[in-house]
Structure 1
Amino acid sequence: MITNINKIKSLIDRDQKRKIPLVLLLMAIGAILETLSVSILVPMVSIIMDIESVQKNKVYLAADALFHMNSPQFFVQILFFTIAGVFISKNFLLYIQISYQSRFASDVRQRIQNKLYEDCIYKPYEFYLGTNTGDILRNIYVDSMGVYNSLLSIMNVLMEGVVSIALVITVLIINPFISLVCIGIIAVITIIIYIFIKPKMQRIGKIYSELSGNINQWILQSTDNIKEIKVMQRENFFVSRFRKQSKIYNDASCKNQVISNIPRLLIEAGTISGIIVMLGISYVGGAELSGIIPQLSAFAVAAVRLLPSINRLNTALNAVLFNETSVDHVIDALSYIGRNPDCLGIHSTDVGMPELARLHKGIFIRNVSYSYPDADQNVFNDISLDIKKGESIGLIGESGAGKTTFVNLVLGLLNSAKGNVLWDDTKINGRNQMYHLNIGYIPQQISLLDDTIEANIVFGAEKIDSEQIERAIKQSQLGEFISSLPKGINTEVGDRGVRLSGGQRQRIGIARALYMNPDFIVLDEATSALDSKTETELMKSINSLRGDKTMIIIAHRLSTLDSCDRIYKLDNGVLRLER
């Protein structure tokens, strides 16, 4: 338990840690009120059983001397109203405590969720080459919820633990013998639960966490390939695979619910049976009924509060064990930034280009070799290439020759490449992210936001410059299409641009790449998925930028590269001049 608390503590920031004393104070006040509400019931029941004894009560005598009550019945009425007020006040304060406690845990979860997403966005590109997208979704949503549940559970353990101890002390004072018997029963049951249930809950929690990532991944794969699924009639295959993953996932959830309730059933049965048997033995042994009833009432009230408290305590402990894997996942994910400070690059998306990032001479690749993580051989070896400012370089090669990897290298996305990629005289191999602001990238498949055309062009820029939007639209020859739309640039494109044609999506991608007015543009087979007519029109837009922009254009067809100053072929890891 201490280990779990320390794990959660490492995820809470300094400001949130300052709130912990108030949380603990509210929990302590709640425990005191819970104990008080049980303690005052014993004298109340005693008074009901023997109202004449009130006249001898010290509290009554003091109140009568001070307020001249002159009537035990009036004092009893005031006492009952006071007790009712105590219960109402107790539950109101408990509401405040629960609200603050839940808000505290929710704030922690929000911060962790934000950090996980931030960590995901700022991780270097190479991280995604071997990462399951479903695991990323699991970290951000499921595992952050696991931390939230674990934190609430730990606070409930502390709260219910204090309440249980206070109530146990109360019933020990009322009847030590019966209380000790009940404590013994609960202790034995708790030890059995800890020995047999703890490892099972940890194992189930691990399965649950891992399967949530698999299910997310399967859903993403299904939606990404929905057209192929429909055409090839593979619905049954995807449904059966999903059902298999879902069954294991929900079986783990079901087992968690069942096992979490076992402690409650055992403790409730053992404790209530123990109290009844011991009180029965006391009565048979000659104890007065008038003496047993107040104790029985107190035990009943204590049991009403204590047993649920102990049950919640066990449930919370099980929840901490169940969510331990999620907590470990979050700790590991958040520790990535600490291990890789370079992934925290330039966060600004303001319009405007730092002068330092402008291209003055060209891009120079010097003796570069690269292999993917855990790969046995290099994608290319000892490549060198000079691209002078204003030049257009074409690149061809068979599928799998490493063209896209070469582009990733030139874009400065591969940290582990050997050799140097120089922007003028500055090395940019995945480190100096300032230069990314001056690179326009147009991939083969343009991924559009489910937003307006304008939002897809500026792509998250904090300051929107209408002049730069107009320039980008003109250079990408998107103006005629936008003018034909009733809402113009504010037209919604739909999920992944489903309402647009392939050529329209590519033009928006070109406009996005040109919005920041970069000096260097990379086209990674940007026209290969288009028909000849659309490709010709798009290449006119691109060729109009010759001389003004430095470009690398990757294509399968040599005709696409007719306007390039030089054409290279990448073959078996070697770069050769083709023309």
Structure 2
Amino acid sequence: MIRQYRTELPAKHRQDWQTVRLLLPYLWAFRGRIGLALLFMVAAKLANIGVPLALKAIIDDLDSSHLPETVMTLPLALLVTYGSLRLATSLFNELRSIVFAVASQSVIRVVSLKVFEHLQQLSIRFHLNRKVGGVARDMERGTRSIGQMLRMLIFSIVPTLFEILTVTGILLYQYRPAFALITLTAMLCYFALTYAVMNWRLKFRIRMNEMESMASTSAMDSLINFETVKYFGNEANELHRYHHYLRQWETAAVKSQWSLALLNIGQGIIIAIGLTWILILAAQGVVQGELSLGDFVLINGFMIQLYIPLNFLGSVFRELSHSMTDMERMFELLDEEPEIKDAEDAIDLPAGPASVRFEQVSFHYQAERPILQNISFEIPIGHTLAIVGHSGSGKSTLPRLLFRFYDTSAGTIKISGHDIRTLRLHSLRRSIGIVPQDTVLFNDSIEYNIRYGRPTASPEEIIAAAKDAHLDEFIEQLPEGYQTIVGERGLKVSGGERQRIAIARTLLKNPAILVMDEATSSLDSRTERGIQGALQQVTSKHTSLIIAHRLSTIVDADLILVLDHGQIIEQGRHQDLLEQGGVYAELWKIQHRKESGKNEQ
């Protein structure tokens, strides 16, 4: 059984130059350092090209000198020049590395922050449709590939191209055109072959990326659901699923490798033919007296300086192609438009107490499956409204609409008279606090998770919030107290303790509007009774929306709505609904009998 994951983004393959163009604004911000690195690169290459020229002069001078004093003066100066050029080459290369490192790492940091910020702004629908492991892998590969691409451009491709043009110009100026023509022809054949084969091999890299993301997602999903795997004894199935993606990755990787071998063979043939041809011409020139021995050494030195980098340039182009593919997937994340975003004329929600109003609100995830239909209600400032209903009635969709994770399909939601679509998202969500049904905590300390409600809170305020949530006694029993790590998703603490941390976090936020989405569903009756007084005290100070599982927690609500299949079928206060003898009364009887049975036991 293989579960399919949608980790890949829509296929919108762009040309490499388009990918680089997207990176240019980030590079432009550090143009000074990048420009300085390029200057050091040019200086290093000029010094490197000067080495064979100095060696030619030394050999020619030694070959033509007969007087001892001449040998001790001119060649000595040339030898010092030769050594100085070698030193200058190394020095300028290292200066280039130092200057470029700062620019490269800064670009990676800025792009990483940009992508992460964009992911935070994308709608909840995007994140529900994607697997975290795949998206994280695409982001990691993309940001890493930026550094690789910049290093290859600054340290390999640009220097090699500069050296090719400079050497070709020197050959054309000093010697017969045939030397420059052969050099250029060999280079053009080399680059044409490399470009053609790299484009052909690109599909293998894309497939490798897809399968690597699938494998990463599969492993992460299995480890996150570790207990579920153990409950059902499905370790073998998880291993088979992971192996399935690894095998497909392996197949693509093997094809990529043998296609690379073919490319290397072709490149080697071109280099060998070009180098041999030029050296034959140079040797003929020496024999015929057209060239000196120093000229032969110079031409040979130039060819070695050109062709040795070309041996590595093939792998550089391969890695550059891979980097472009990885960067493209990362930039496709930036192409995703946020489904929910601020209007151009959005305003901040005024601070202070707030009312909530739903006006004929309807919502659906899919057009053929409505979740809410014509929901209307109002929660005045300081009042409490409770929502009850069977599972799947649409109760938990209401907070998502209130937070504007989704926009309504029809109707309007207003806070203090303002349509929430006219409010800035940060301002809107800052004014609402929620204790969700399923609390997920950060893999950090209890203090960090409580402080998350208001990062600027003092230690005293954190302790006060923990006491209000009846969490302080539990924390005091822990050896590390508030610094206790709660584990991945908070799994090191019980469900009830996670819920109390969530309550403390929301109390610390102190929002104008409080949402309790079955906030006590994970608590035992004793713990629930212990914090019920605190919850009632808190809700009395806020405009509160309570989605209730246990009806005993909402008997004091100002208004209770009963939902069924996305519609309000009953509404009123607790006693009124009991007297009506409808769905609410039936739910109350069922829960009352269960509670009575537990008490008798």
* TM-score, normalised with respect to structure 2: 0.82
Counterpart Cα distance in 2 of 1:344 and 1:452 = 39
1:183 matched residue in structure 2? 184
**Backbone CA RMSD of aligned residues:** 3.4
1:413 matched residue in structure 2? 405
- The match for 2:351 among 340, 353, 357 is 357
Q: CA deviation at 1:441?
A: 0.8
Counterpart Cα distance in 2 of 1:14 and 1:189 = 31
Q: CA deviation at 1:33?
A: 2.1
2:233 matched residue in structure 1? 233
Is 1:450 the equivalent of 2:443? yes
CA displacement 1:457-500 (0-9 Å, x = unmatched): 11174422334323312221112222223433233333333332
Instruction: Decide whether aligned partners of structure 1 residues 356 and 285 sit closer, same or farther in structure 2, where only a CA change above 3 A counts.
Output: closer
Q: CA deviation at 1:425?
A: 1.1
Amino acid of the residue matched to residue 564 of structure 2?
D
| SS of corresponding position for 2:413 | strand
1:556 matched residue in structure 2? 549
| SS of corresponding position for 1:223 | helix
CA displacement 1:515-543 (0-9 Å, x = unmatched): 02123221222333444444444444423
Q: CA deviation at 1:97?
A: 1.3
Amino acid of the residue matched to residue 102 of structure 2?
R
Task: Report if the CA contact (8 A) 1:37-1:87 is conserved.
Answer: yes
Counterpart Cα distance in 1 of 2:232 and 2:399 = 33
Q: CA deviation at 1:420?
A: 1.4
Q: CA deviation at 1:392?
A: 2.8
Task: Report if the CA contact (8 A) 1:367-1:420 is conserved.
Answer: yes
Is 1:114 the equivalent of 2:106? no
1:43 matched residue in structure 2? 57
Unaligned 5+ residue runs, structure 1? 56-68, 347-353
Is 1:471 the equivalent of 2:464? yes
Q: CA deviation at 1:455?
A: 1.1
Matching of residues 418-497 of structure 1 within 5 Å: 418-429=410-421, 431-433=423-425, 434-459=427-452, 461-497=454-490
| SS of corresponding position for 1:40 | helix
Amino acid of the residue matched to residue 149 of structure 2?
S
Task: Report if the CA contact (8 A) 2:168-2:183 is conserved.
Answer: no
Task: Report if the CA contact (8 A) 2:57-2:78 is conserved.
Answer: no
Counterpart Cα distance in 2 of 1:406 and 1:227 = 31
Counterpart Cα distance in 2 of 1:344 and 1:326 = 33
Unaligned 5+ residue runs, structure 2? 1-14, 572-576, 578-601
Instruction: Decide whether aligned partners of structure 1 residues 103 and 366 sit closer, same or farther in structure 2, where only a CA change above 3 A counts.
Output: same
Counterpart Cα distance in 2 of 1:525 and 1:293 = 91
Counterpart Cα distance in 1 of 2:398 and 2:71 = 95
Amino acid of the residue matched to residue 499 of structure 1?
K
Task: Report if the CA contact (8 A) 1:393-1:551 is conserved.
Answer: yes
CA displacement 1:271-303 (0-9 Å, x = unmatched): 334433554577579926995753443343223
Amino acid of the residue matched to residue 118 of structure 1?
E
Amino acid of the residue matched to residue 72 of structure 1?
V
Off by >6 Å, runs of 4+ in structure 1 = 337-340, 343-346
Instruction: Decide whether aligned partners of structure 1 residues 460 and 314 sit closer, same or farther in structure 2, where only a CA change above 3 A counts.
Output: farther
Q: CA deviation at 1:145?
A: 2.0
Is 1:527 the equivalent of 2:527? no
Task: Report if the CA contact (8 A) 1:171-1:302 is conserved.
Answer: no
Is 1:96 the equivalent of 2:90? no
| SS of corresponding position for 1:12 | helix
Counterpart Cα distance in 1 of 2:327 and 2:25 = 9
Is 1:573 the equivalent of 2:566? yes
| SS of corresponding position for 1:323 | helix
Counterpart Cα distance in 2 of 1:16 and 1:484 = 53
Q: CA deviation at 1:379?
A: 1.2
| SS of corresponding position for 2:411 | strand
State which drifts further: 278-287 or 38-47. Answer: 278-287
Q: CA deviation at 1:345?
A: 13
Amino acid of the residue matched to residue 149 of structure 1?
Q
CA displacement 1:378-404 (0-9 Å, x = unmatched): 211111011223333332233332222
Instruction: Decide whether aligned partners of structure 1 residues 160 and 376 sit closer, same or farther in structure 2, where only a CA change above 3 A counts.
Output: farther
Q: CA deviation at 1:114?
A: 0.8
Q: Percent identity?
A: 22
Task: Report if the CA contact (8 A) 1:283-1:289 is conserved.
Answer: no
Amino acid of the residue matched to residue 189 of structure 2?
V
State which drifts further: 502-511 or 401-410. Answer: 401-410
Is 1:327 the equivalent of 2:327? yes
Counterpart Cα distance in 2 of 1:358 and 1:508 = 25
CA displacement 1:357-376 (0-9 Å, x = unmatched): 3224x21111111122x543
Task: Report if the CA contact (8 A) 2:45-2:89 is conserved.
Answer: no
2:393 matched residue in structure 1? 401
Q: CA deviation at 1:409?
A: 1.2
Task: Report if the CA contact (8 A) 1:186-1:267 is conserved.
Answer: no
Counterpart Cα distance in 2 of 1:164 and 1:356 = 65
Matching of residues 283-322 of structure 1 within 5 Å: 287=287, 293-322=293-322
Q: CA deviation at 1:232?
A: 1.1
Q: CA deviation at 1:227?
A: 0.3
Is 1:224 the equivalent of 2:224? yes
Counterpart Cα distance in 2 of 1:285 and 1:91 = 33
Q: CA deviation at 1:431?
A: 4.2
Amino acid of the residue matched to residue 357 of structure 1?
A
Counterpart Cα distance in 2 of 1:342 and 1:311 = 53
Q: CA deviation at 1:549?
A: 2.8
Q: CA deviation at 1:454?
A: 1.5
State which drifts further: 548-557 or 260-269. Answer: 260-269
Amino acid of the residue matched to residue 497 of structure 1?
G
CA displacement 1:145-186 (0-9 Å, x = unmatched): 233333333444222211222223334435643453343334
State which drifts further: 167-176 or 379-388. Answer: 167-176
Counterpart Cα distance in 1 of 2:569 and 2:205 = 54
Amino acid of the residue matched to residue 443 of structure 1?
P
Counterpart Cα distance in 1 of 2:92 and 2:424 = 55
Counterpart Cα distance in 1 of 2:341 and 2:558 = 39
1:390 matched residue in structure 2? 382
1:3 matched residue in structure 2? 17
Counterpart Cα distance in 2 of 1:222 and 1:343 = 40
Q: CA deviation at 1:511?
A: 0.3
Task: Report if the CA contact (8 A) 2:142-2:327 is conserved.
Answer: yes
Task: Report if the CA contact (8 A) 1:164-1:306 is conserved.
Answer: yes
Instruction: Decide whether aligned partners of structure 1 residues 325 and 269 sit closer, same or farther in structure 2, where only a CA change above 3 A counts.
Output: closer
Task: Report if the CA contact (8 A) 1:137-1:216 is conserved.
Answer: no
* TM-score, normalised with respect to structure 1: 0.85
Instruction: Decide whether aligned partners of structure 1 residues 416 and 137 sit closer, same or farther in structure 2, where only a CA change above 3 A counts.
Output: farther
Task: Report if the CA contact (8 A) 1:443-1:526 is conserved.
Answer: yes
Q: CA deviation at 1:236?
A: 1.6
Instruction: Decide whether aligned partners of structure 1 residues 39 and 511 sit closer, same or farther in structure 2, where only a CA change above 3 A counts.
Output: same
Q: CA deviation at 1:514?
A: 0.7
| SS of corresponding position for 2:369 | coil
Amino acid of the residue matched to residue 300 of structure 1?
N
Task: Report if the CA contact (8 A) 2:285-2:291 is conserved.
Answer: no
Amino acid of the residue matched to residue 272 of structure 1?
A
CA displacement 1:107-165 (0-9 Å, x = unmatched): 21211111111111233434334333234313421122233333333444222211222
Task: Report if the CA contact (8 A) 1:468-1:516 is conserved.
Answer: no
Task: Report if the CA contact (8 A) 1:403-1:570 is conserved.
Answer: yes
Task: Report if the CA contact (8 A) 1:142-1:209 is conserved.
Answer: no
Instruction: Decide whether aligned partners of structure 1 residues 384 and 444 sit closer, same or farther in structure 2, where only a CA change above 3 A counts.
Output: same
Amino acid of the residue matched to residue 324 of structure 1?
M
Q: CA deviation at 1:343?
A: 9.2
